[in-house]
Structure 1
């Protein structure tokens, strides 16, 4: 028994006429009658009672009609789901977001992607440092990471989508907040709260290089992987920090952001994914991410100080 036999049977049952069913199916009446007879022989039951003027379902035919309709509906749904999966419109996608992107880009990007692809289930892990994202990308727990390069790992494609300024984060009571912008050298006597130094993260390396350019080595009181914890520690006047400007979207009382007058710094944000086989789901997410970033007109390209070989991170935050 094939699906076409079910379609022929349902058409005859609906139309109560071989002639009308043949017209609906765009086939000749004789082959249609032959196919129905073949189906009845295969099932071993009579599906229709026939007279010269009418066709009616038998009781077994009525029972079979309900199941046949259900099977045809499910087969149509299965075919449509297969086509949607091929277009990247159905399935589940695991995403990782670095700290600052968690508070600024994640809401807009997830909402935009959800609006375009409502049948895709998103599994989001937020405030993930790059080493954790890289590990989970490589073992398949993440499909796409939104992280800070550089990432020199075989098997991953890394696509920069934004450059943003690095700014100073200070407690609101800090004396330097009276200025509209801050020279990094003015913070030489402060304690610093830092992103991880082992392995050295992008933000850690930018901080070390910039401070050395400003003529000092920063005194690091504490390192944290969680951006919210970093901002909270600064708000508690435990130290100052250098952070991506997008972290300002995490609003915490008693913490203040100030642009740097000297030196001017920037950091990149990138999409990372396995380069072996880009699935339709991943491809559609990448397209949405590019569109969202462009639409926000968020790309900034200030000049960052050179990172020396000693300071260059092996993997980003």
Structure 2
């Protein structure tokens, strides 16, 4: 079995179209078909159901695909490892983040990585809430995710605290408390709140709910949205108020203000999460950079 046979198989399996797979591999369609037939003869199975209108994986093809992916993942890791010995890192690290809540933590990391390791590609995936980020790290869809603590324990995921920000409130500029230097959260008990959805496992939503309960009420949620900056936009539009960490104070859109809360603060604990079982040498290099530019706060 040759590597190029597996490469042809993966291309057809992902495209489910011999013409598109041939174009992707920069081959003519006839040599591609011949390569697939060689692989099928080698394995003694049929990998694709072919018709004039469609191509589909057979059960044998479905069984082979994850192993074929793993072969190429191992080859890439081998390439990375051999070059890392000489201090040269290349490859891709995928990073999940939520958006506005990471505007003080994501840019320092990405800038430092690009300056130190220009051959490393960073694949940035936005609107990733905490639970989704953890799940994607667990299954290998993400190498690194910005999340909020605490998390449900997971033996597959390692986390490190990188920042702690107290919650404050975003208000429309014409809100009755917008001109105050600080507000008591209980004074907002009758307001409608905009928040991230609880169903996606948002650390922001959980911290906001905890703050409201500690103040003696449960918030009346009028809108849920996954993008924190869109939350600010809806606040500016007068849809409601929102509990957000203090880092957003300097990116408030026109029509909104950020006001600190009085009393014992509720913190949003920002962290990064990764799998300790991830063998990527490039990820290890990025984590080392993160230790420098995003140290754990005292």
TM value normalised by structure 1? 0.63
How far apart in 1 are the matches of 2:136 and 2:81? 28
Q: Which residue of 2 aligns with 1:120?
A: 120
How far apart in 2 are the matches of 1:79 and 1:209? 47
How far apart in 1 are the matches of 2:291 and 2:134? 20
Q: Which residue of 1 aligns with 2:211?
A: 210
Displacement after TM superposition at 1:137 (Å): 1.3
Q: Is the 8 A contact 1:190 1:240 kept in 2?
A: yes
Secondary structure of residue in 2 paired with 1:225: coil
CA offsets 1:115-160 (integer angstroms, 9 cap, x no match) = 0110101111123111221222122221111111222233111111
How far apart in 1 are the matches of 2:119 and 2:109? 16
Is 1:262 aligned to 2:263, yes or no?
yes
Q: Is the 8 A contact 2:209 2:219 kept in 1?
A: yes
Is 1:287 aligned to 2:258, yes or no?
no
Q: Is the 8 A contact 1:99 1:129 kept in 2?
A: no
Displacement after TM superposition at 1:278 (Å): 4.5
Q: Name the stretch that deviates more: 133-142 or 168-177.
A: 133-142
Q: Which residue of 1 aligns with 2:110?
A: 110
Secondary structure of residue in 2 paired with 1:288: helix
Give the number of aligned pairs.
Answer: 220
How far apart in 1 are the matches of 2:111 and 2:101? 14
How far apart in 1 are the matches of 2:139 and 2:159? 16
CA offsets 1:190-236 (integer angstroms, 9 cap, x no match) = 11011112255322222222212212221110111111211111111
Is 1:168 aligned to 2:169, yes or no?
yes
Q: Which residue of 2 aligns with 1:132?
A: 132
How far apart in 2 are the matches of 1:282 and 1:112? 14
How far apart in 1 are the matches of 2:155 and 2:181? 43
Larger Rg: 1
Write out aligned runs for 1:129-278 (5 A): 129-152=129-152, 153-278=154-279
Q: Structure 1 residues 117, 101: CA separation in 2 closer, same or farther (over 3 Å shift)?
A: farther
Write out aligned runs for 1:44-59 (5 A): none
How far apart in 2 are the matches of 1:187 and 1:101? 22
Runs of 4+ in structure 1 off by over 4 angstroms are 78-81, 85-88
Q: Is the 8 A contact 2:129 2:201 kept in 1?
A: no
Q: Is the 8 A contact 2:80 2:90 kept in 1?
A: no
Displacement after TM superposition at 1:174 (Å): 1.1
Secondary structure of residue in 1 paired with 2:230: helix
Q: Structure 1 residues 260, 81: CA separation in 2 closer, same or farther (over 3 Å shift)?
A: same
In structure 2, stretches of 5+ residues that fail to align are 1-77
Secondary structure of residue in 2 paired with 1:212: helix
TM value normalised by structure 2? 0.67
Displacement after TM superposition at 1:79 (Å): 9.2
Q: Which residue of 2 aligns with 1:11?
A: none
Write out aligned runs for 1:69-88 (5 A): 82-84=82-84, 87=87
Secondary structure of residue in 2 paired with 1:161: strand
In structure 1, stretches of 5+ residues that fail to align are 1-77, 302-317
Displacement after TM superposition at 1:257 (Å): 0.9
Secondary structure of residue in 1 paired with 2:262: strand
Q: Structure 1 residues 241, 149: CA separation in 2 closer, same or farther (over 3 Å shift)?
A: same
Q: Structure 1 residues 265, 107: CA separation in 2 closer, same or farther (over 3 Å shift)?
A: same
Secondary structure of residue in 2 paired with 1:198: helix
How far apart in 2 are the matches of 1:121 and 1:218? 42
How far apart in 1 are the matches of 2:87 and 2:155? 28
Q: Structure 1 residues 262, 280: CA separation in 2 closer, same or farther (over 3 Å shift)?
A: same
